[in-house]
């Protein structure tokens, strides 16, 4: 059990007073699916776009559980495909909020494949996404602070500031690129 007992009187990230605090595990979501032939690509492995859809879906539930607000996906920082997921396997996704800003939440998704005949499990993919909590007018609102407890949660929480900095830099570069691109019809 964490040292935080009165969760409503802890200073939040960025100095917010009396900000509600939640544990990573309160946003945890687990989803398991079987890989069917229609889910696969020409290599008979799970189609990457299908997995990305699963990742965004489960991460959005974690974000909503954490803030109990409407949320929007602000970025999918990365999806690292580590192992292919075949038709004789299931895919299990685990997600939870690892870090928060003022209105944003970083969500980590771990993808584990399991061979259904042998029970062998392997890490197949990892992903980080960022969500923003919105009020009823679609404006960003503050989110509860997050407290990690397990070794994995603490490691991800402690390395989140670096990822947030990289995310901001990448967004600046993406905006500069978008400003340089044209929108004229190609025909």
Q: Of 96 and 2, which is predicted with more confidence? A: 96
**Under the phi-then-psi rule, with left for phi > 0, alpha for psi from -120 to 50, and beta for the rest, what region is 15?**
left
Task: Write out pLDDT tens, residues 70-103.
Answer: 999 999 988 999 999 999 899 999 999 999 999 9
Residue 1: both structure tokens together: 């059990």
Q: Enumerate the β-bridge partners of residue 172.
A: none
Per the prediction, the chain carries an average pLDDT of 90
E-strand spans in the chain? Answer: 21-23, 29-34, 70-81, 89-100, 104-115, 121-134, 145-147
* 145-174 pLDDT tens trace: 999 999 999 999 999 999 999 999 999 999
pLDDT at 3: 39
At residue 182, the pLDDT reads 86
**Under 8 Å between Cβ of 71 and 135:** no
74: tokens are: 């602000």
pLDDT bracket for residue 111 (50, 70, 90)? very high
Q: Check: CB of residue 30 under 8 Å from CB of residue 92.
A: yes
The model's pLDDT over 16-36, given as tens digits with 9 standing for 90+, comes to 444 799 999 999 999 999 999
Q: What is the pLDDT of residue 2?
A: 39
Alpha carbon 78 to chain centroid, angstroms: 10
In this prediction, residue 78 carries a pLDDT of 86
pLDDT for the residue numbered 139? 97
Q: Would you say how long the chain is, in residues?
A: 187
pTM: 0.86
Q: At what angle do helices 160-180 and 151-158 cross, to 10 degrees?
A: 50
Cα separation, 129 vs 73, whole angstroms: 7
Mean pLDDT, to the nearest integer, of 55-75? 97
């Amino acid at each position: 059990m964490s040292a935080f007992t009165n969760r409503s009187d802890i200073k939040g990230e960025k100095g917010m007073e009396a900000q509600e605090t939640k544990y990573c595990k309160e946003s945890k979501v687990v989803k398991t699916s079987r890989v069917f032939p229609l889910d696969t690509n020409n290599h008979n492995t799970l189609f990457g776009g299908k997995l990305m859809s699963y990742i965004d879906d489960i991460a959005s539930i974690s974000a909503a559980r954490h803030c109990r607000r409407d949320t929007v996906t602000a970025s999918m920082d990365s999806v690292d495909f580590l192992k292919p997921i075949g038709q004789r396997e299931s895919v299990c996704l685990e997600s939870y909020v690892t870090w928060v800003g003022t209105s944003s939440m970083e969500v980590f998704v771990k993808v584990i494949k399991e061979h259904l005949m042998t029970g062998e499990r392997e890490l197949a993919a990892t992903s980080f996404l960022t969500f923003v909590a919105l009020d009823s007018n679609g404006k960003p609102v503050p989110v509860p602070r997050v407290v990690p407890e397990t070794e994995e949660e603490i490691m991800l929480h402690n390395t989140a500031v670096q990822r947030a900095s990289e995310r901001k830099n990448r967004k600046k570069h993406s905006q500069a690129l978008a400003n340089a691109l044209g929108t004229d019809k190609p025909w």
